Amino acid sequence: AQSVTQLGSHVSVSEGALVLLRCNYSSSVPPYLFWYVQYPNQGLQLLLKYTSAATLVKGINGFEAEFKKSETSFHLTKPSAHMSDAAEYFCAVLSGANNLFFGTGTRLTVIP
Amino acid sequence: NAGVMQNPRHLVRRRGQEARLRCSPMKGHSHVYWYRQLPEEGLKFMVYLQKENIIDESGMPKERFSAEFPKEGPSILRIQQVVRGDSAAYFCASSPPNGGPYEQYFGPGTRLTVT
Protein backbone atom coordinates (compact mmCIF):
# COMPACT_ATOMS: atom_id res chain seq x y z
CA ALA A 1 0.00 0.00 0.00
CA GLN A 2 1.11 3.53 -0.67
CA SER A 3 1.41 6.18 2.04
CA VAL A 4 3.08 9.49 2.84
CA THR A 5 4.50 11.01 5.99
CA GLN A 6 4.83 14.71 6.53
CA LEU A 7 7.52 15.75 8.99
CA GLY A 8 6.62 18.76 11.07
CA SER A 9 3.00 19.66 11.69
CA HIS A 10 3.92 23.34 12.02
CA VAL A 11 6.56 25.34 10.18
CA SER A 12 7.27 29.04 10.66
CA VAL A 13 9.37 31.12 8.31
CA SER A 14 10.07 34.81 7.94
CA GLU A 15 8.71 36.66 4.97
CA GLY A 16 11.25 36.37 2.17
CA ALA A 17 12.90 33.25 3.60
CA LEU A 18 13.08 29.82 2.02
CA VAL A 19 10.09 27.54 2.52
CA LEU A 20 10.81 23.82 2.90
CA LEU A 21 7.99 21.40 3.69
CA ARG A 22 8.96 17.76 4.00
CA CYS A 23 7.20 14.72 2.64
CA ASN A 24 8.42 11.12 2.51
CA TYR A 25 6.56 8.40 0.71
CA SER A 26 6.28 4.65 0.92
CA SER A 27 5.28 2.83 -2.21
CA SER A 28 5.79 -0.60 -3.71
CA VAL A 29 5.29 0.79 -7.21
CA PRO A 30 6.49 4.00 -8.89
CA PRO A 31 4.47 6.62 -7.05
CA TYR A 32 2.32 9.44 -8.28
CA LEU A 33 2.74 12.28 -5.78
CA PHE A 34 0.87 15.51 -5.15
CA TRP A 35 1.02 18.65 -3.06
CA TYR A 36 -2.19 20.48 -2.15
CA VAL A 37 -2.74 23.73 -0.27
CA GLN A 38 -5.73 24.46 1.94
CA TYR A 39 -6.60 27.98 3.02
CA PRO A 40 -8.81 28.44 6.09
CA ASN A 41 -12.34 27.17 5.56
CA GLN A 42 -11.68 26.34 1.93
CA GLY A 43 -11.19 23.22 -0.11
CA LEU A 44 -7.88 21.87 -1.35
CA GLN A 45 -6.12 23.39 -4.31
CA LEU A 46 -3.59 21.42 -6.32
CA LEU A 47 -0.13 22.98 -6.21
CA LEU A 48 1.74 20.43 -8.29
CA LYS A 49 1.97 16.75 -9.12
CA TYR A 50 4.64 14.21 -10.05
CA THR A 51 3.58 11.55 -12.53
CA SER A 52 6.94 9.94 -13.39
CA ALA A 53 8.11 12.54 -15.88
CA ALA A 54 10.68 15.17 -14.83
CA THR A 55 11.87 14.78 -11.25
CA LEU A 56 11.75 18.52 -10.60
CA VAL A 57 8.15 19.64 -10.76
CA LYS A 58 7.13 23.27 -10.91
CA GLY A 59 3.75 24.32 -9.62
CA ILE A 60 1.67 27.38 -9.05
CA ASN A 61 2.55 30.35 -6.85
CA GLY A 62 6.28 29.77 -7.23
CA PHE A 63 6.34 26.38 -5.51
CA GLU A 64 8.30 23.40 -6.74
CA ALA A 65 9.07 19.90 -5.54
CA GLU A 66 11.78 17.41 -6.35
CA PHE A 67 11.19 13.66 -6.51
CA LYS A 68 14.16 11.81 -5.01
CA LYS A 69 13.81 8.08 -5.29
CA SER A 70 16.95 7.34 -3.28
CA GLU A 71 15.55 9.31 -0.35
CA THR A 72 11.87 8.41 -0.96
CA SER A 73 11.15 12.10 -0.65
CA PHE A 74 9.06 14.73 -2.38
CA HIS A 75 9.77 17.92 -0.45
CA LEU A 76 8.02 21.18 -1.35
CA THR A 77 10.06 24.36 -1.63
CA LYS A 78 9.67 28.02 -2.44
CA PRO A 79 12.67 30.38 -2.55
CA SER A 80 10.97 33.34 -0.90
CA ALA A 81 7.94 33.14 1.38
CA HIS A 82 5.09 35.57 1.02
CA MET A 83 2.46 36.38 3.60
CA SER A 84 -0.19 34.90 1.32
CA ASP A 85 1.55 31.50 1.52
CA ALA A 86 0.29 31.00 5.08
CA ALA A 87 -1.94 27.93 4.85
CA GLU A 88 -2.02 24.19 5.45
CA TYR A 89 -0.13 22.02 2.98
CA PHE A 90 -0.86 18.39 2.29
CA CYS A 91 1.28 15.84 0.53
CA ALA A 92 -0.58 12.96 -1.09
CA VAL A 93 0.16 9.78 -3.02
CA LEU A 94 -2.05 7.88 -5.40
CA SER A 95 -3.18 4.85 -3.43
CA GLY A 96 -4.65 1.98 -5.36
CA ALA A 97 -6.46 2.84 -8.55
CA ASN A 98 -9.00 5.30 -7.36
CA ASN A 99 -7.99 7.54 -4.51
CA LEU A 100 -5.38 9.68 -2.85
CA PHE A 101 -3.72 8.96 0.50
CA PHE A 102 -3.07 12.24 2.29
CA GLY A 103 -0.48 13.11 4.88
CA THR A 104 -1.51 14.78 8.12
CA GLY A 105 -0.60 18.23 6.84
CA THR A 106 1.87 20.99 7.68
CA ARG A 107 0.63 24.36 8.79
CA LEU A 108 2.86 27.11 7.42
CA THR A 109 3.08 30.41 9.27
CA VAL A 110 4.80 33.36 7.63
CA ILE A 111 6.22 35.95 10.01
CA PRO A 112 6.35 39.54 8.77
CA ASN B 1 -16.91 27.96 -15.10
CA ALA B 2 -18.05 27.17 -11.60
CA GLY B 3 -15.93 24.87 -9.52
CA VAL B 4 -17.09 21.98 -7.40
CA MET B 5 -20.04 23.06 -5.29
CA GLN B 6 -20.92 21.64 -1.92
CA ASN B 7 -23.87 22.44 0.28
CA PRO B 8 -24.53 23.14 2.92
CA ARG B 9 -21.19 24.61 3.97
CA HIS B 10 -22.03 24.09 7.62
CA LEU B 11 -24.45 21.56 9.06
CA VAL B 12 -25.40 21.01 12.67
CA ARG B 13 -27.21 17.85 13.66
CA ARG B 14 -28.18 16.34 16.99
CA ARG B 15 -27.19 12.78 17.77
CA GLY B 16 -29.48 10.32 16.04
CA GLN B 17 -30.52 12.64 13.21
CA GLU B 18 -29.68 12.20 9.56
CA ALA B 19 -27.17 14.30 7.64
CA ARG B 20 -27.32 14.79 3.86
CA LEU B 21 -24.36 16.37 2.14
CA ARG B 22 -24.55 17.43 -1.49
CA CYS B 23 -21.86 17.76 -4.11
CA SER B 24 -22.24 19.17 -7.60
CA PRO B 25 -19.17 18.34 -9.71
CA MET B 26 -17.58 20.70 -12.16
CA LYS B 27 -19.30 20.94 -15.52
CA GLY B 28 -18.31 18.01 -17.70
CA HIS B 29 -16.97 15.95 -14.81
CA SER B 30 -18.44 12.51 -14.34
CA HIS B 31 -16.36 11.19 -11.44
CA VAL B 32 -16.93 12.11 -7.80
CA TYR B 33 -14.85 11.31 -4.75
CA TRP B 34 -15.76 11.86 -1.09
CA TYR B 35 -13.17 12.41 1.64
CA ARG B 36 -13.47 13.03 5.37
CA GLN B 37 -11.13 15.23 7.37
CA LEU B 38 -11.13 14.84 11.11
CA PRO B 39 -9.66 17.66 13.22
CA GLU B 40 -5.88 17.89 12.96
CA GLU B 41 -5.76 15.06 10.42
CA GLY B 42 -5.38 14.66 6.68
CA LEU B 43 -8.18 13.75 4.35
CA LYS B 44 -9.27 10.12 4.31
CA PHE B 45 -10.81 8.59 1.20
CA MET B 46 -14.36 7.34 1.60
CA VAL B 47 -15.92 6.52 -1.75
CA TYR B 48 -15.53 6.96 -5.51
CA LEU B 49 -18.55 7.15 -7.77
CA GLN B 50 -19.38 7.57 -11.41
CA LYS B 51 -22.84 8.37 -12.66
CA GLU B 52 -25.22 5.79 -11.16
CA ASN B 53 -22.36 3.56 -10.05
CA ILE B 54 -20.29 3.11 -6.92
CA ILE B 55 -16.83 2.19 -8.13
CA ASP B 56 -14.87 2.00 -4.88
CA GLU B 57 -16.33 2.28 -1.39
CA SER B 58 -13.39 0.78 0.46
CA GLY B 59 -13.14 3.81 2.77
CA MET B 60 -16.77 3.96 3.76
CA PRO B 61 -17.80 2.89 7.26
CA LYS B 62 -19.85 -0.29 7.01
CA GLU B 63 -22.88 1.12 8.77
CA ARG B 64 -24.89 4.34 8.63
CA PHE B 65 -23.00 5.82 5.65
CA SER B 66 -24.14 5.68 2.05
CA ALA B 67 -23.43 7.59 -1.14
CA GLU B 68 -25.05 8.00 -4.51
CA PHE B 69 -24.46 9.86 -7.74
CA PRO B 70 -27.68 9.75 -9.74
CA LYS B 71 -28.01 10.29 -13.45
CA GLU B 72 -29.43 13.73 -12.77
CA GLY B 73 -28.55 15.96 -9.85
CA PRO B 74 -25.76 16.14 -7.32
CA SER B 75 -23.94 13.39 -5.52
CA ILE B 76 -25.27 12.78 -2.02
CA LEU B 77 -23.40 11.53 1.02
CA ARG B 78 -25.89 10.35 3.61
CA ILE B 79 -25.14 9.67 7.25
CA GLN B 80 -27.89 8.09 9.26
CA GLN B 81 -28.19 8.31 13.04
CA VAL B 82 -25.22 10.61 13.40
CA VAL B 83 -22.90 10.33 16.40
CA ARG B 84 -20.40 12.83 17.82
CA GLY B 85 -17.55 11.02 16.10
CA ASP B 86 -19.05 11.93 12.72
CA SER B 87 -18.19 15.58 13.33
CA ALA B 88 -15.71 16.43 10.60
CA ALA B 89 -15.23 18.27 7.34
CA TYR B 90 -16.45 16.31 4.35
CA PHE B 91 -14.89 17.16 1.02
CA CYS B 92 -16.02 16.22 -2.41
CA ALA B 93 -13.77 16.17 -5.45
CA SER B 94 -14.57 15.66 -9.10
CA SER B 95 -12.54 14.71 -12.13
CA PRO B 96 -13.20 14.65 -15.86
CA PRO B 97 -13.94 11.39 -17.69
CA ASN B 98 -10.31 10.96 -18.78
CA GLY B 99 -8.69 12.51 -15.73
CA GLY B 100 -9.18 9.93 -13.03
CA PRO B 101 -7.72 10.38 -9.56
CA TYR B 102 -4.74 12.28 -10.98
CA GLU B 103 -6.87 15.30 -11.67
CA GLN B 104 -9.19 15.89 -8.74
CA TYR B 105 -10.73 19.28 -8.10
CA PHE B 106 -11.96 19.82 -4.58
CA GLY B 107 -15.00 21.61 -3.29
CA PRO B 108 -14.97 23.90 -0.24
CA GLY B 109 -16.28 21.17 2.04
CA THR B 110 -19.19 20.70 4.40
CA ARG B 111 -18.42 21.04 8.08
CA LEU B 112 -20.66 18.74 10.06
CA THR B 113 -21.08 19.30 13.76
CA VAL B 114 -22.96 16.73 15.82
CA THR B 115 -24.21 17.98 19.15
Q: State the pLDDT confidence band at B111, using cuts at 50, 70 and 90.
A: very high
**pLDDT score at B102:** 80
Is the model's pLDDT at B1 over the cut of 60?
no
User: Looking at residue A29, what is its pLDDT?
Assistant: 83
Report pLDDT for A110: 97
* Residue B94, pLDDT score: 94
pLDDT the model gives residue A98:
77
Contact with chain B for residue A52, Cβ under 8 A? no
Q: What is the DSSP string of B11-54?
A: EEE-TT--EEEEEEPPTT--EEEEEEE-TTS-EEEEEEEETTEE
> Which is more confident, B39 or A36?
A36
Residue A92 forms beta bridges with which residues? A34, A102
Chain B interface, Cβ < 8 Å to A: 4, 6, 33, 35, 40-45, 48, 55-56, 58-59, 91, 93, 100-102, 104-109
**Residue A42: predicted pLDDT:** 81
| Residue B62, phi-psi category: left (phi > 0), alpha (psi -120 to 50), beta (remainder) | alpha
State whether B101 and A100 contact (CB < 8 Å): yes
Instruction: State the burial class of residue B14 (Cβ atoms within 10 Å of its Cβ: 0-12, 13-18, 19+).
Output: exposed
Most confident of B36-45, B63-72, B100-109: B63-72
Contact yes or no for B94/B104 (Cβ under 8 A): yes
CB contact (8 A) between residue B108 and residue A45: no
Measure in Å the smallest separation between the Cα of A110 and chain B Cα atoms.
Answer: 20
Beta-bridge partner residues of B79: B19, B65
Q: How many CB pairs under 8 A join A and B?
A: 61
Kindly list the residues from chain B whose CB atom is less than 8 angstroms away from the CB atom of residue A36. 106
Bond from prior residue into B8 cis (ω within 30 degrees of 0): yes
| DSSP assignment of A35-50 | EEEE-TTS-EEEEEEE
Chain B contacts of A103, Cβ < 8 Å? 42
* C-alpha distance from B14 to closest chain A C-alpha (Å): 22
pLDDT in tens, chain A (112 residues): 789 999 999 999 999 999 999 999 998 888 899 999 999 878 889 999 998 778 999 999 999 999 999 999 999 999 999 999 999 999 999 987 778 899 999 999 999 9
**Residue B113 to chain A, least CA–CA distance (Å):** 14
Residues B80 and B1 sit within 8 Å (Cβ to Cβ): no
Nearest residue on chain A to B42, judged by CA atoms? Answer: A104
What is the predicted pLDDT for the residue at A99? 84
* 3-state secondary structure at position A85: helix
Distance CA A29, CA A81 (A): 34
